[in-house]
């Protein structure tokens, strides 16, 4: 079993994703991140779809492309299956509520108001991050080597991030761009306010080899020190990040293999 203990900075490398033990517990100082393959058989998809609530099934039906529909069903179904392992509640009995920006959480009666989670999906993979009693956000992105990184960074990144990105050799810019993007999204998802937080008003690290960190948040200098960022490497062509409040914890990375 791989346990990564945090002091200030940390990375979950590509070989960190393991099978979980049968009796899984989440201690107060732990963060668990699950890697979920969104590629499922038709029967696996049906099984997961049956665990969704009526409103989730309605949302799934609204997706225009079957690929998006199945991505939603598998990631929501996996989320329910994973949460049920910790809470010992049937996946289909779990109930979510949403903040005004759409962030889902368990209704208090079911979580005891302690279990917090967040989910992200991209291409054929999802990441689900869990912890207790503290805000958490996760993001995953595929690295697109042909993406117009500098143009998009100009619009969304801070002046500091733009200068770091432009200083890198061209072949390193796509990975640095998506690394930066996931760190910023993980933070805004942990806060729960999504893109209503201007992305260019805070700085994260992005240079290759530089530990994941929130450096500065405009208009609130103390805010950056309240948060930890963790770098996740879910596959050779994807990057991810977790943002979590506080800084005293252990990280476990698990692979979800379709089990309930
Ligand atoms: C949250 C947000 C940054 C996610 O962007 P993304 O990179 O496209 O998507 P990801 O795959 O990383 O994350 C999506 C998941 O995050 C979760 N999520 C949704 N809104 C969230 C929020 N405000 N904060 C944290 N997590 C959120 C959901 O589980 C969602 O998955 P699901 O819809 O399949 O259940 C973006 O959708 C956003 O800013 N939303 C806010 C919209 C808003 O302000 N709405 C106001 C009411 S109209």
Q: Do 119 and 167 fall into the same domain?
A: no
Cβ of 120 less than 6 Å from ligand 1? yes
Integer CA distances (angstroms), 214 to 3, 78, 85, in order? 23, 29, 32
Q: Do 101 and 194 fall into the same domain?
A: no
In a domain, 182, yes or no: yes
Find, among 4, 14, 29, 71, the residue nearest to 244 by Cα: 29
Q: 65: how many CB neighbours lie within 10 A of its CB?
A: 8
pLDDT on residue 112: 66
Positive or negative torsion for Cα 197, 165, 175, 148? positive
CATH number at residue 43: 3.90.470.20
pLDDT on residue 9: 63
In a domain, 8, yes or no: no
- Interval between CA 140 and ligand 1 midpoint (Å): 12
pTM: 0.94
Cβ of 174 less than 6 Å from ligand 1? no
Q: By the 8 A CB rule, do 180 and 215 touch?
A: no
Looking at the CA of residue 194, tell me the nearest atom of ligand 1: 39
In a domain, 5, yes or no: no
- Interval between CA 181 and ligand 1 midpoint (Å): 14
pLDDT on residue 242: 96
Cβ of 125 less than 6 Å from ligand 1? no
Cβ of 66 less than 6 Å from ligand 1? no
In a domain, 6, yes or no: no
Q: Do 37 and 130 fall into the same domain?
A: yes
pLDDT on residue 11: 80
Total tally of structural domains belonging to the chain: 2
Nearest CA to ligand 1 atom 6: 120
- Interval between CA 184 and ligand 1 midpoint (Å): 13
In a domain, 88, yes or no: yes
Q: Do 84 and 205 fall into the same domain?
A: no
Cβ of 254 less than 6 Å from ligand 1? no
- Interval between CA 119 and ligand 1 midpoint (Å): 9
193 is in which domain, residue-wise?
Answer: 141-235
Q: Do 129 and 252 fall into the same domain?
A: yes
Looking at the CA of residue 195, tell me the nearest atom of ligand 1: 39
Q: Do 30 and 58 fall into the same domain?
A: yes
pLDDT on residue 1: 45
Q: Do 63 and 170 fall into the same domain?
A: no
d(CA 81, CA 232): 22
Q: Do 146 and 222 fall into the same domain?
A: yes
Q: By the 8 A CB rule, do 250 and 242 touch?
A: no
In a domain, 242, yes or no: no
* Bridge-based pairing state of the strands 10-12 and 227-235: parallel
Q: Do 180 and 223 fall into the same domain?
A: yes
Pure H helices in 95-158: 108-111, 149-156
| pLDDT tens per residue across all 260 residues of the chain | 445 555 456 788 778 899 999 889 999 889 999 999 999 999 999 999 999 999 999 999 999 999 999 999 999 999 999 999 999 999 999 999 999 999 999 987 766 668 999 999 998 999 999 999 999 999 999 999 999 999 999 999 999 999 999 999 999 999 999 999 999 999 999 999 999 999 999 999 999 999 999 998 877 768 888 999 999 999 999 999 999 999 767 999 999 988 76
DSSP SS3 for 83: helix
Q: Do 20 and 97 fall into the same domain?
A: yes
Q: Do 129 and 148 fall into the same domain?
A: no
In a domain, 241, yes or no: no
Cβ of 101 less than 6 Å from ligand 1? yes
Tokens for 232, please give them: 């996740």
Q: Do 85 and 177 fall into the same domain?
A: no
In a domain, 110, yes or no: yes
d(CA 214, CA 160): 12
């Amino acid at each position: 079993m791989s346990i990564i203990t945090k002091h200030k900075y940390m990375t979950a490398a590509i070989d960190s994703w393991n099978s979980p033990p049968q009796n899984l517990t989440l201690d107060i100082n732990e963060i668990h991140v699950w890697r979920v393959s969104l590629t499922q058989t038709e029967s696996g998809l049906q099984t997961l779809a049956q665990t969704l609530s009526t409103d989730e099934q309605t949302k799934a039906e609204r997706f225009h492309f079957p690929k998006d529909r199945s991505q939603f069903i598998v990631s929501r179904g996996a989320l329910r299956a994973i949460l049920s392992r910790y809470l010992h509640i049937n996946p289909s009995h779990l109930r979510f509520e949403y903040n005004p920006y759409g962030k889902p959480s368990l209704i208090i009666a079911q979580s005891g108001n302690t279990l917090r989670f967040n989910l992200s999906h991209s291409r054929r993979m999802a990441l689900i991050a869990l912890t207790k009693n503290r805000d958490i956000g996760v993001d995953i992105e595929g690295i697109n080597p042909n993406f117009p990184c500098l143009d998009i960074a100009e619009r969304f990144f801070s002046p500091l991030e733009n200068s770091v990105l432009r200083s890198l050799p061209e072949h390193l810019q796509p990975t640095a761009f998506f690394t930066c993007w996931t760190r910023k999204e993980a933070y805004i998802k942990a806060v729960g306010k999504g893109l209503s937080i201007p992305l260019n008003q805070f700085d994260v690290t992005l240079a290759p080899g530089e530990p994941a960190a929130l450096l500065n948040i405009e208009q609130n200098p103390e805010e950056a020190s309240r948060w930890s960022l963790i770098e996740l490497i879910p596959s050779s062509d994807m990057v991810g990040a977790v943002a979590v409040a506080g800084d005293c914890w252990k990280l476990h990375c698990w692979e979800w293999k379709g089990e309930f």
